[in-house]
Structure 1
Amino acid sequence: MKAIIDEFKHILNGKFIFIILIAPLIISAAFGYVFKNNQLNEAPVAVVDMDHSDYSQQLIQKLDADQYINISYITYNYMEPNSFMYNEEYFGVIYLPAGLEKAHAQGAQTNIGLYVDTSLSTATTYLRNGVTEVIAAENASAAANKLVAMGVSSAQATNFTTGLNLQTRLLYNPTNNMLMSSVIGFVNTVFLSILGGATLTIIPRLREQGLLKDMLRRPLSLVLRILPYSIIATCSMYLVMGCLKQVGGLRFEANVYQLWIPFLMYAIALSLLCMMIGWSASSPAKAAGRITMILLPSFILSGAQLPVALLPPILQNVSHALPLSWHFKFLRGLGFRGGDLHYFMQEIGGFLILITCILVVIFLLMLNEMRKIRKAEKEGLLHPDEIDSTETVITSDSDSDSALILPKGDKQAGPSHS
């Protein structure tokens, strides 16, 4: 308990609480506001109408009526598609060829051109879907009209042209909200760097202060020093999710009373991993620089930007060693899909196995550190933790200068003269 209290005192004397509570909160509020409108309706589109017919005008009106398309410009002369999209004034160009009305009346196939600016793929995804839906509906209507002209009833004609009707329901993220992908990934990366940067320095700081040797006699107390960081980090994650939900409209359906379990497990696993990686650093400053050893693999392999299923099989297995990978599984399963915690017993077991493996490595590092201390004592050398037990006293002589190392507590009466 004393070790936990000492660590809390160290945290209160620094800026960790302020940084881990305020920085992710500001970032989540800013990104939540920026990406609140996550899809583009009424994308501006130009039309090159080379047919100049009544049917082409009707088709243009149907395209413009779609919620994802805004026909902003119509020209009846041929123009290159690049000239419309160089300055991002239009996101797409539709070409209606000459003879379109005639081909429609004869039932002949006609090619309509659609040019889409895929350098802005997020903005043009729904534009492509909108044009596809309008053309599919127009084809079905034209086929039904031909069947009616042949003497088939309207109901039969409709059944012939739409025998199979696909009904699709998009679950969990139907509007492809970036808050549930890129923003969550970025915020958690920032969170990881703050928590990891603080817990990396625990062991080097104790070593520098000369307290590590004594702490090694109480291994549990040493490990529990990460608990204050984990508790504060869990509170920070609650604030971040609440901010994204209120400011950005994030669809987050997790039970708030169950969420603390995976949040705390993630904070503990990450803190222990950072303690393990920073163990051998000679100073807190050098330990803090090792955050890239965790940050970069976590960003690439955890599913923050790229789904883990798209990674090569060997990297998918490596991702299981990263706490952030398990954290995202709980965020998506509990938060985005609204699952109950009892559905995730396998994931909880995986998290516990990861924490156990890290603890085993830390225990081995403790044994190695104690072995080094005993070896140094056996050889009559001073361990770095014991450097502060001596002090150097400089004495001077009238004929020559000399230096004498005295233990603490011994006093020198004064200069000696022969």
Structure 2
Amino acid sequence: MMQNIIKSMLEELDAMLSGHFIPYYKVSLGLAAIVSLVFSIVLSHGAVFEGKIAVIDLDGSNYSTELISKVNTSPYIEVTEVIRSPVNPITLVSHDRNLGVLYIPKGLEKSLKKGEQTVRLGYFADDTNDAQNAKVLQSLNEYIPELGAELSVGKIAALGLGKEGIEATLSPMQLKTRYLFNPASSSTISTIIYFVYFFSSLTYGLTSLMIIGRLKVTGMWQMAIERGFLSLLARTIPYALFYTTALTLITAILVIFGQLRFEGNYFAFVPSVFMTGLAFGWLAFLLSWTTKNPGEGAGRMIFLVPPGFIMGGSTMAVGIMPIWTYYISHAFPLVWLFRFFRDFAMRGRSLIDMLATYGAYIIYLTVIAFVVMMFVERVKKTANAS
């Protein structure tokens, strides 16, 4: 048994080094390095630091001009154009021209001086991408009330209240936000590392999806089946080791050079990467089981890696998914890897805290291995019957 497992692993290493198939030992390291470098440069900011907005100023007063100037100097906002006549805001955000449009109604200055009613400014947000407007909306929601409060200070001061009393009257309750895991909005902590894991998983998934077809084309399929399901599963171990090595190396480089914060123990995180490598390989066997050549298996990539990237919390909030979708998403290995990364790297959870999740992941791998065993036994029975 052990001899067959070792033979299967060595055969996969020979295939990698032969030059006739994907040289995964090179691709795994090279792609991870390239992706981390390119996206670190392209996505140097994790947030829109100068969110461009247009302003429709129907008041045209001295105060509205002053207001626009103050908004333009506030954090995360850049006023690109001021329109002093009614216009459809859609035209101002088309072609990614602006992230949104601030609307200043007519009679702003007059209403503020009288102080008879609250003046409501409008903001038309281009929500084709919610993330783009996050900092702009946050800044406007904080800054506009502050500017409005400045106008009321003189009136309230006449009541004889002290500084603290004036502040309490103008703003009886405030909300202060503290960002727990990424206060600097660093892309390396979230977006870039997700891309590194995603593209590394794509190449590994592509390689593993071609194994079954390669065994059939090279005439080794029957021998692989006769050795048993454990020997077949063991063929993914060399690839999983290179997959783990590549991600570990790139992560270490990012941490050493201060581009990535890893709060937990990386050695406690490593098993999850290796287990993800096994999961990708074993699922690839099931997906490509009926294929007759490597190219046919590669065509089934869409079912292996991308769903985990989409539903793993890298492109959208996990909380917006229905509960049944959340549970089904764990059928994809990348969802598990992203979950482990967030808990270990960003939240700093310990190995003890993650034992339950590791246990669930082991059960997940056991189920996949059991299904592979059933497939192998069925092929054996068919061969013996014929």
Query: Could you tell me the TM-score, scaled by structure 2's length?
Result: 0.84
2:361 corresponds to: 351
Alignment gaps of 5+ in structure 1: 377-418
- C-alpha contact 1:302 1:319 (8 A) present in aligned 2: yes
User: What residue is the counterpart of 2:240 in the other structure?
Assistant: 230
Name the residue aligned to 1:138.
147
Aligned match of 2:3:
none
For residues 210 and 339 of structure 1, do their structure 2 counterparts lie closer, same or farther at Cα, with a shift above 3 Å needed? same
Structure 1 289/51 Cα, relative in aligned 2: closer, same or farther at 3 Å?
A: closer
The residue type equivalent to 1:365 in the other structure is F
- d(CA) in 2 for partners of 1:123 and 1:367? 53
Distance 1:313 1:86 in 2: 35
CA contact (8 A) 2:36 2:196 kept: yes
Deviations 1:287-313 (A, max 9, x none): 333333323433444334233433233
Quick check: 1:192 aligned with 2:201? yes
The verdict on how the C-alpha distance between 1:247 and 1:275 changes in structure 2, with shifts beyond 3 A counting, is: farther
**C-alpha distance in 1 between matches for 2:216 and 2:98:** 62
Q: 1:47 to 1:374 in 2, by over 3 A?
A: closer
Deviation at 1:34, TM superposition (A): 0.5
Letter of the 1:125 counterpart:
A
Secondary structure, aligned partner of 1:43: strand
* Larger deviation, residues 54-63 vs 351-360: 54-63
Distance change (3 Å), C-alpha of 1:93 and 1:221: closer
User: C-alpha separation between the residues in 2 aligned to 1:327 and 1:290?
Assistant: 21
Pair 1:172 & 2:174 matched: no
Q: Could you say if the C-alpha distance between residues 349 and 58 of structure 1 is closer, same or farther in structure 2, counting changes exceeding 3 Å? A: same
In the alignment, residue 28 of structure 1 is paired with which amino acid?
S
1:70 partner amino acid: E
Q: How many residues align?
A: 375
Instruction: Identify the range of structure 1 (32-41 vs 116-125) with the bigger mean alpha-carbon deviation.
Output: 116-125
- Tell me which residue corresponds to 2:31: 23
1:316 to 318, 323, 326: 326
1:154 to 123, 146, 163: 163
- For residues 178 and 357 of structure 2, the distance between their equivalents in structure 1, rounded to whole angstroms, comes to 27
Secondary structure at 2:123's aligned position in 1? strand
Out of 2, 7, 10, which is 1:2 matched to? Answer: 7
Change (3 A) 1:56 1:117: same
Q: 1:70 aligns with which of 57, 63, 78?
A: 78
RMSD of the alignment, in Å? 3.0
- Mapping 1:24-103, distance limit 5 Å: 24-51=32-59, 53-73=61-81, 77-78=84-85, 80=87, 82=89, 84-86=92-94, 90-103=98-111
Distance in 1 (CA, whole Å) between partners of 2:54 and 2:149 is: 25
Q: Name 1:124's counterpart in structure 2.
A: 133
User: Are 1:319 and 1:325, in contact at CA under 8 Å, matched by a contact in 2?
Assistant: yes
**Hey, what's the Cα distance between the residues in 2 that align with 1:180 and 1:119?**
24
Q: Distance in 2 between matches of 1:32 and 1:246?
A: 15
For residues 27 and 93 of structure 1, the distance between their equivalents in structure 2, rounded to whole angstroms, comes to: 35
In structure 2, runs of 5+ residues without a counterpart are: 1-5
Q: Indicate whether 1:331 and 2:338 are aligned.
A: no
Distance 1:211 1:93, change over 3 A: closer
CA positional deviation for 1:87: 6.3
SS of 2:353's partner is: helix
Report how far residue 183 of structure 1 moved. 4.3
CA deviations on 1:78-103 (whole Å, 9 max, x unpaired) are 25264655565554444444433332
CA contact (8 A) 1:333 1:339 kept: yes
Deviates more, 1:210-219 or 1:132-141: 210-219
In the alignment, is the contact (CA less than 8 A) between 1:276 and 1:362 conserved in 2? yes
Identity within the alignment, %: 27
What CA distance in whole angstroms lies between the structure 1 residues aligned with 2:74 and 2:361? 47
Task: Name the CA distance, whole Å, in 1 between partners of 2:358 and 2:308.
Answer: 19
Letter in 2 for 1:170: Y
Secondary structure in structure 1 of the residue aligned to 2:362: helix
Structure with greater Cα Rg: 1
**SS of structure 2 residue aligned to 1:171:** coil
Distance of 1:71 and 1:78 partners within structure 2: 16
Determine if contact 1:32/1:248 at 8 Å carries over to the other structure: no
Deviation of 1:26 (Å): 1.4
Contact 2:263 2:345 in 1 (8 A): yes
